[in-house]
Amino acid sequence: MDSGSIFYEFFAQRIAERGLYGPVEYIVYGAIMLFLLFFVIFPLLNKRGVKFNTKFAFALIPYILLGSALRVLEDLSFLPRSWNPLELAYYFVTPGIFLFIAAVTLVCLFVSLVISKKFKVDFYNLFAAIGLILAMPIVFFEILNFPAWVGVIEVLLLVAVTTALLVFIFQKLGKKILKPGLNKLAIIATQFFFCGEQHPLSGFLLDSFPLSFVFAKIGLVFVILYYVDKEIKNENLRGFIKIVVIVLGFATGLRDILTLGVGTCL
């Protein structure tokens, strides 16, 4: 078996056939993601004084929405699809779209830093505004083509009610884990899964026991938040890890909401 066949079998076949992730993909993409996040992106931004706080998380949401909206355009066949990393269409599907949106976000972030310092404007507002300008035309186009408003509203209400219930329970128990803004955002981001999953384990849970999948994700996020708050002493690194959790949750969740709205939910 030549290198091209190996690449297709382990990394491209899923994209070409819209199948499930394999274990090799999990390991390779996970390793690449962790390396880029903690050995490239965090040191690069931390060195330049970027604070990973609640303001930054909210400013980042338009870029997450941009990625989700572009992914839905591909689902609707408005954008091409390719398994070849040398073709532009590869960067409209997972994992290519994560690299594409990360690159766009970093460019906009550095532009915002330069402009905010030069003209004394608020960095977070400027960064968020640029993201909104990029994302809103695509999102509005998709919203205008929503045939399933009832389902979207039901999911959003469920997320709101579940979040409020979790906050209430933890306040009654005297737990502080949901008090920081980033922790609450992470929990909210966790609850959005609705459509079919490309991951074998989560897909099985979602198909067989939908509620158990949601609770399993919430439980995992609680464990991560507890560990990060207790063990990570570097405040900015602590915030960065939480923002990674928020991005991963919202990226899939917002896509699922838009997918449900446009009627392509599996």
Which pLDDT does position 2 carry in this prediction?
A: 60
Residue 30: name the closest of 170, 261, 167, 199 by CA: 199
What confidence tens digit (pLDDT) does each residue in 58-105 have?
999 999 999 999 988 888 888 888 888 888 889 988 889 999 999 999
Mean pLDDT of the chain: 84
- Comparison of pLDDT for 252 and 178, the residue scoring more: 252
CA atoms within 13 A on the CB side of 124: 12
Express each pLDDT in 130-167 by its tens digit. 999 999 999 999 888 888 788 788 778 877 787 778 77
Which structure tokens are listed for 193? 């899964």
**Of 226 and 2, the one with more pLDDT:** 226
Distance CA 110, CA 3 (A): 38
Task: Give pLDDT, residue 204.
Answer: 47
User: Can you tell me the distance from the alpha carbon of 129 to that of 138, in angstroms, rounded to the nearest whole number?
Assistant: 15
Q: Which two three-digit tokens encode residue 39? A: 């050995």
| Two structure tokens written together for 250 | 């919202």
Q: How many Å is the Cα radius of gyration of the chain?
A: 19
Q: What is the DSSP letter of 38?
A: I
Give the global pTM.
0.86
Burial class (CB in 10 A: 0-12, 13-18, 19+), 42: buried
Location of structure tokens 């939910």: 265
